[in-house]
Amino acid sequence: MIEIRNLSKTYKQHQALSSINLRISTGIFGLLGPNGAGKSTLMRIMSTLMKPTEGDVLIDSLSINKNPEKVRKLIGYLPQHFHVYPQMTPLEILDYVGVMKGVTNKKERREQMVHWLQEVNLTSKANDKLKTFSHGMKQRVGIAQAFMGNPKLVILDEPTVGLDPEERLRLRNLLSKEGLNKSILLSTHVVTDIESSCYEIAVLRKGELIMDATVDQLKERACGKVWEGDVPAGYLDNLAEDTILYSEHRGNTIHARVLAEEKPFYGAKMLEPSLEDGYLALLGGTVS
C-alpha cells in the first residue's frame, strides 16, 4: 500500500503540488493531467529523487523522508526523459540497475535481465550500444530497467511517448500482467493510454488533485453531455459556449462531437461518454 500524505512542493515561488492526499493499492493507477499539472514532480518525489516541501509518502509504511535508501530498493522508476549513456548496452544498464536495487546474486540478476529484455522485445539488441537505438527502443530499455529487482511500486512517467501502436499494446499487456502483484503508477496526458488498462485514476491540475476516482466515475462526468451529428458549415461558431471535441467536413456539412449541457443543434444525438469526454468535462470548465 502506498500512501501520499499532505504532499506539497514549491519551486522557489511556484507551487507545483498543493497538499496531495492519495492511496494507491495493487494494480495500475493512472495519473492524468495536462502538461504542467505536477505529475512529474509528484513522481520524482515518490521515487526519492527530490524532497517534498511538506508532507510524506509511505511505501509499505516506510517513509520517503525517513528511509529514502530503503524505499529506493522498493521502487522502479522510468523518468519522463530517460537519458542514457550512449556507449552502454541494455544488458549493462539493467545489470547496473539490478545492483542498485540490491539484486546481489549474479545469476539471479542475469535471469531478471533476460526476462525483462524479452518482455520489452529487445532480446536481439541486448548487446548493442544505445547510441544506435531509436527513441522508442530507448524507452523500452527504460521500461525494462524500471522492473529490475522486483519492485513493489513501479513509477512510469509518460511511458507511451515515442512508442508505436504495436509497442503500446505490448506495454499494456505487460502492465496488466504485472499489475496483479505490484502497484504501477502511470502518468500520461493522453487519456486513451489508460482507458483500457487502469481501474483507478487521479487527475491533477495546476498542482491540485481534482479527482480520485474509477475510470467509470470519470466517464460519468460527461454523462448526458456528449452529442454528435451534422451541422451546417459555419454553424460551429454558434457553439462557442460548448466544447467541440471533434469536427470533420463532410461535403456541405460538418460532422461534430460536442460537449454541451443541452442539445446543441438540431438533429444532435446523445452518446455514451468516453473516458476522454469525462476528462474534458472535468477540465473544461464550461461544463461542470
Q: Which is nearer to ligand ADP, 31 or 222 (CB)?
A: 31
With contact defined as beta carbons under 8 Å apart, do 57 and 153 qualify? no
Closest CA to 287 of 192, 221, 216: 221
Q: Interface with ligand ADP includes 40 (CB under 6 A)?
A: yes
With contact defined as beta carbons under 8 Å apart, do 8 and 52 qualify? yes
Q: Which residues pair with 157 in a beta bridge?
A: 187
Q: Interface with Mg ion includes 197 (CB under 5 A)?
A: no
Question: Which entry of Mg ion, ligand ADP, none binds 37, CB below 5 to 8 A by partner kind?
Answer: ligand ADP
Q: Interface with ligand ADP includes 254 (CB under 6 A)?
A: no
Q: Which is nearer to Mg ion, 39 or 109 (CB)?
A: 39
Q: Which is nearer to ligand ADP, 35 or 61 (CB)?
A: 35
H or E segment and range at residue 16: strand 14-24
Q: Which is nearer to ligand ADP, 34 or 224 (CB)?
A: 34
Least Å from the CB of residue 135 to ligand ADP: 18
- Residue carrying C-alpha cell 487521479: 202
Rounded CA gap, 111 and 105, in Å? 10
Among 14, 83, 249, 269, binds ligand ADP (CB under 6 A): 14
Rounded CA gap, 155 and 185, in Å? 5
3-state secondary structure at position 104: coil
Q: Interface with Mg ion includes 80 (CB under 5 A)?
A: yes
Contacting positions for Mg ion (CB under 5 A): 39-40, 80
Q: Summarize as ranges the residues that interact with ligand ADP (CB under 6 A).
A: 11, 14, 16, 33, 35-41
